[in-house]
């Protein structure tokens, strides 16, 4: 089991769990429910789920599934059900975002998925699930919490991918602030109720990491994007896409994306 810690606030029936390091960042969960034993079991399931996804998507771990695919010696490779599901979803987003979301950075048309296998028709194809994996994991965590009767919960994945289920025990929503990565000045306050927030952007110490797969040009501008959506994966993908899409591309993509509020911030 990955390193984690928990505490319990009986007054608000609030369970607090933290995983200091998973999928390259920190995960923090607040769950509101009176049954501490159930929440403790559920937390172990959450930590186990994240650990299993780490083994799939961490491209920096030599023994992860994505690393195995990226170092392949064959064009047809067996894949896990999770990887097959992820690649199918990536194909859907590839089409929905006018090919701006591409985990192969320009070669997704050379990937075919089906029957527990992936076929690479180009030996240069490499996979990078940045801008996807955290949103995918949050979607699974949310389903797990809901299936166990948790209606009110807050999950913060690295400060940039967040879900708010129901509301805070002393409020009618979950409140989240978004500060400028350049100045620290508050840019926006969000009220999450059964919704997800994802942020993407450049910081003074980390920029150029979001690349347009159609042009190969990295976005190095002082800007950020926020997306609020009902689905954490929609929010995660679109916040990345909004950083590289033109105004016209954003308009077209928005027409295909129900229940989404997206914004750009010039910093």
Q: Is the pLDDT of residue 80 over 90?
A: yes
> Rounded mean pLDDT of the chain?
96
Whole-model pTM: value is 0.96
**117-135 pLDDT, tens digit each:** 999 999 999 999 999 999 9
Domain boundaries, the chain: 5-53+134-266, 65-120
Q: Average pLDDT in the 168-181 region?
A: 96
| Strand, helix or coil for residue 82 | helix
Q: Average pLDDT in the 52-79 region?
A: 96
Identify the band that residue 1 occupies on the pLDDT scale cut at 50, 70 and 90.
confident
Report how far residue 35's alpha carbon sits from residue 215's, in angstroms, rounded to the nearest whole number: 52
DSSP code for 203: B
Task: Judge whether 196 and 184 are in contact, CB under 8 Å.
Answer: no
How far CA 152 is from CA of 105, 155, 225, 264, in Å, comes to 37, 10, 26, 29
pLDDT of residue 225: 98
For 29-52, give one letter per residue: b (16+ CB within 10 A) or e. Answer: bbbbbeeeeebeebbeebbeebee
* Third-level CATH fold of 5-53+134-266: T-fold (3.10.520)
| Strand, helix or coil for residue 172 | coil
pLDDT of residue 5: 96
Specify burial of residue 226 (Cβ count, 10 A radius: 0-12, 13-18, 19+).
Answer: buried
**14-61 pLDDT, tens digit each:** 999 999 999 999 999 999 999 999 999 999 999 999 999 999 999 899
pLDDT of residue 233: 98
Report how far residue 136's alpha carbon sits from residue 234's, in angstroms, rounded to the nearest whole number: 9
């Amino acid at each position: 089991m990955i390193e984690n810690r928990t505490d319990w606030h009986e007054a608000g029936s609030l369970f607090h769990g933290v995983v200091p390091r998973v999928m390259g960042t920190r995960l923090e969960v607040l769950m509101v429910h009176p049954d501490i034993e159930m929440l403790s079991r559920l937390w172990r399931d959450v930590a186990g789920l994240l650990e299993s996804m780490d083994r799939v998507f961490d491209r920096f771990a030599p023994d992860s599934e994505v690393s195995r695919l990226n170092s392949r010696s064959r064009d047809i490779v067996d894949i896990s059900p999770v990887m097959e599901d992820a690649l199918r979803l990536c194909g859907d987003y590839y089409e929905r975002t006018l090919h701006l979301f591409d985990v192969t950075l320009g070669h997704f048309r050379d990937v075919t998925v089906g029957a527990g296998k992936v076929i690479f028709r180009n030996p240069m194809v490499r996979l990078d699930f940045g801008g996807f994996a955290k949103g995918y994991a949050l979607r699974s965590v949310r389903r797990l919490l809901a299936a166990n009767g948790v209606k009110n919960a807050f999950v913060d994945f690295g400060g940039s991918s967040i879900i708010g289920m129901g509301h805070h025990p002393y409020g009618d929503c979950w409140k989240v602030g978004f500060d400028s990565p350049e100045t620290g000045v508050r840019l926006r306050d969000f009220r999450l109720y059964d919704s997800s927030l994802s942020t993407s952007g450049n910081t003074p110490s980390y920029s150029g990491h979001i690349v347009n797969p159609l042009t190969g040009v990295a976005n190095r501008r002082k800007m950020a994007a926020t997306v609020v959506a009902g689905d954490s994966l929609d929010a995660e993908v679109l916040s990345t896409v909004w950083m590289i899409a033109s105004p016209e591309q954003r308009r077209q993509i928005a027409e295909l994306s129900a229940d989404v509020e997206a914004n750009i911030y010039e910093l």
